[in-house]
Amino acid sequence: MHLAHFDIDHFLCHHWQKRPLLIRNPWAAWRNPLEPDELAGLACDDDVEARLVIGDDARRVMESGPFGESRFGELGAGPWTLLVQAVDHQVPDVAALMEPFRFVPDWRIDDVMVSYASHGGGVGPHFDQYDVFLVQGLGQRRWRVGPVCDAQTPLLPHDDLRLIADFEASDEWVLNPGDILYVPPCFAHDGVAVGDDCMTYSIGFRAPSRAELVEGFCDHQTEHMVDEDRYADPDLARQAAPGEITAVAIDRLHALVTSALADRDAFARWFGAHNSQPKYDGDWRPDAPIDAATLRDSLAQAVPLARNPASRFAFMRLPDGNRLFVDGQDFDCAGALAGLAEQLCAGSELVVDPHWAGSADGLALIAALIDQGSVAFVEDD
């Protein structure tokens, strides 16, 4: 599937992180990629994060999965919503929904949450800290969008849901299959199913907070500091007021902290590894390290390599090549290996040029990715 009627440059200029946008069915040919029964089956899996939100604005109760197969038959005629996270990790056709939105860098893309709702079902008025494209898959959903919210926005008392207390909508639309609603960060929004068999695909994006970055990088840097690296004042002079912390001392203390955080290359290496940490476990690690002969033969025969859908790949350009980040690990890829790093980040499946079967560096990189469960050779059916 691809977006046939959508001006990406206009969207990025006028809407991305600025204001919501309703996009009426821009697909060349919309096809719902997942059936409701399949979604319910995923919600019964121990390895899948799923939630049920039962009720309406009068009262909502949330249950966490996994659910027994009989649970959905017990729900009755009242409004309810099933939400399943990271369905793109489980269903290739759902993962393909992300492809048209890769005009946003991959490192910003999170996952695809899929919801199914009975008539009147919804999670209530809320706001998110990230951008989201809400793609209507089946049925209809009425979306209302309100003002920008923040930490001071009053919320309803609820143990599980962050619901806005006084939601006032400024726009309202009913979405049909194939329609898309883009909602920037912190805009209040509320979606309610109109009729049964309402399925919505939420393509969410990542936005690390300043607190997350500061805490994470500080923790990383302190891991490598020695106890002897301390404040020093060998030119200390007598102070008229012993109780004073002088400006000179503050300057030195501040420099002691900021100089430890000023290493841009160290930050880049840390962030690439940190950001590529997988959110959910999708263990593809082989029982034993791949045999060198098997690896060479598979590459020589142009057997495709598939990426683990739970894995995260990214690269950074360096003066002498690229630095590849995969699932929290980093690999320096100089010379010709830089091109292979880019190819590995380009798509979900790759036929590696057979000449890499004769490259020690290429073999080492691919073997490392296979052994850590990030890629695997595609086996014949």
| Predicted confidence (pLDDT) per residue in 309-318, tens digit | 999 999 999 9
**Is residue 1 scored above 80 in pLDDT?**
no
For residue 256, the surrounding DSSP H or E stretch is helix 247-261
Lowest mean pLDDT among 22-26, 346-350, 373-377: 346-350
**Is residue 7 scored above 70 in pLDDT?**
yes
Mean pLDDT of the chain: 95
Task: Find the mean pLDDT for residues 273-289.
Answer: 92
pLDDT at 283: 87
Strand locations in the chain, DSSP E?
21-23, 50-56, 59-64, 80-84, 109-117, 132-148, 171-175, 180-183, 187-205, 305-307, 313-318, 321-326, 329-334, 349-350, 375-377
**Is residue 293 scored above 90 in pLDDT?**
yes
CA-to-CA distance for 176 and 138, rounded, in angstroms? 7
Contacts 24+ apart (CB under 8 A), 333-342: 333/365, 337/361, 337/362, 337/365, 340/365, 341/315, 341/365, 342/315
Q: Please state which CATH number belongs to domain 292-377.
A: 3.40.366.30
For 196-221, give one letter per residue: b (16+ CB within 10 A) or e.
ebbbbbbbbbbeeeeeeeeeebeebb
Question: In this structure, which amino acid lies at residue 231?
Answer: Y
How does residue 120 score in pLDDT terms, banded at 50, 70 and 90? Answer: very high
Domain ranges for the chain: 8-205, 209-225+249-262, 292-377
pLDDT at 302: 93
Compare 1 and 328 and report the one with higher pLDDT: 328
**Is residue 33 scored above 90 in pLDDT?**
yes
Task: Give which of 305, 128, 285, 120 is closest to 202, Cα–Cα.
Answer: 128
- Domain 8-205 indexed as CATH 3.10.20.740: no
Q: Model pTM?
A: 0.93
Q: Contact 117/56 with Cβ under 8 angstroms?
A: no
State whether residue 277 is helix, strand or coil.
coil
pLDDT at 282: 80
Phi, psi (degrees; rounded to nearest 5) at 143: -105, 135
CA-to-CA distance for 272 and 281, rounded, in angstroms? 19
Task: Find the mean pLDDT for residues 317-327.
Answer: 96
**Is residue 281 scored above 70 in pLDDT?**
yes
pLDDT at 381: 58
How does residue 182 score in pLDDT terms, banded at 50, 70 and 90? Answer: very high
Sign of CA dihedral 295, 297, 298, 302: positive
Task: Give which of 368, 362, 320, 357 is closest to 341, Cα–Cα.
Answer: 362
**Is residue 198 scored above 70 in pLDDT?**
yes
Task: Find the mean pLDDT for residues 134-154.
Answer: 97
